[in-house]
Amino acid sequence: MTVVIDGKKLAQDIRVEIKAGVDKFRSERKRDIGLAVVLVGDNPASQVYVRNKIKACEEVGIKSYSEYLPANCAQNSLASVVKRLATDKNIDGILVQLPLPEHLDAEKILKLIPTEKDVDGFSEENTGKLSRGEDCLVACTPNGIMKILERYGVETCGKKAVVVGRSDIVGKPMAMLLINADATVTVCHSKTADLKGECLRADILVAAVGKTKFITADMVKEGATVIDVGMNRNENGKLCGDVDFENVKDKCSYITPVPGGVGPMTITMLMYNTLQAALRR
Ligand code: GUN
């Protein structure tokens, strides 16, 4: 019997726990926890993400500070906003929504976020610590996936995990987390020689490719756990993942749907990271 993972329900459960942590913080430290969200331009997907992040803050009692800048804003205008937030005592976490417009240097902007406020877990120090298995702020999507595996009792120790996709935001940190959880990890990408063969060996298969129905039933081992990070739109504009869900699901022990799988967990982990950042300050 396949278990379809209910990411929405799990995210709600964890948000209740985070809210309790946020309330305790407020009563002990006599201040609110603050998250600054910076959005440049009018990318419709980014606008939706930012709106959902602000909504999640309200839900758990974190104070959100939004900074909206026009698409044509200059590098130094954005830099001065981030620098101001970096020294603002009311701000525990800073998130600059990506992608930034082409003319802006995202790397340079992200470097202005102090490590301790890097709730995206993108900084060199946080990614370095993650690769050493040290305590740090971890990128939200892979961290949310680890929470899913943990809460659903999916064993990672000694298991073969295959991550398809090598992005800095998902694929690489996902691989590190799985290694730290004692899995044997393979990372596949567009140049992988035998993608199907690699996927077929996976006890845990994480798809983070960005292509609809990229993972088909013939690539999945019987009884595998399949985690779908894809957020694609099909020809009708409907949100769908990287996995051919209908045909894959009956082969799996566990599978995440899209929507309602990994997505709700990502924003929840942003709230989790913001609470962690506040507690550490
Ligand atoms: N754009 C898409 N995903 C993310 C994310 O996790 N963090 C930020 N800052 N921007 C994104």
Rounded to the nearest angstrom, the distance between the alpha carbon of 97 and the centre of ligand 1 is 5
Chain-centroid distance, C-alpha 171: 10
Rounded mean pLDDT, 204-222: 98
Does the annotation mark 12 as catalytic?
no
Using pLDDT thresholds of 50, 70 and 90, give the confidence band for residue 174: very high
Among candidate residues 92, 117, 118, 120, the one labeled active-site is 120
Rounded mean pLDDT, 35-54: 95
| Atom number of ligand 1 nearest to Cα 96 | 9
* Token pair of 145 as six digits: 């996936």
Using pLDDT thresholds of 50, 70 and 90, give the confidence band for residue 23: very high
Q: What is the pLDDT of residues 233-245, one digit of tens each?
A: 988 989 999 999 9
Average pLDDT, the chain: 97
Using pLDDT thresholds of 50, 70 and 90, give the confidence band for residue 13: very high
**What's the Cα-to-Cα distance from 280 to each of 33, 115, 276, rounded to whole Å?**
12, 11, 6
pLDDT the model gives residue 206? 99
Residues enclosing ligand 1, CB less than 6 A? 95-98, 120, 140, 169
pLDDT the model gives residue 85? 98
Rounded to the nearest angstrom, the distance between the alpha carbon of 240 and the centre of ligand 1 is 18
| Atom number of ligand 1 nearest to Cα 266 | 6
Rounded to the nearest angstrom, the distance between the alpha carbon of 141 and the centre of ligand 1 is 9
The best mutation among 100, 117, 120, 174 to test binding of ligand 1, ranked by most ligand atoms within 8 Å of the C-beta, falls on: 120
Using pLDDT thresholds of 50, 70 and 90, give the confidence band for residue 133: very high
pLDDT the model gives residue 51? 96
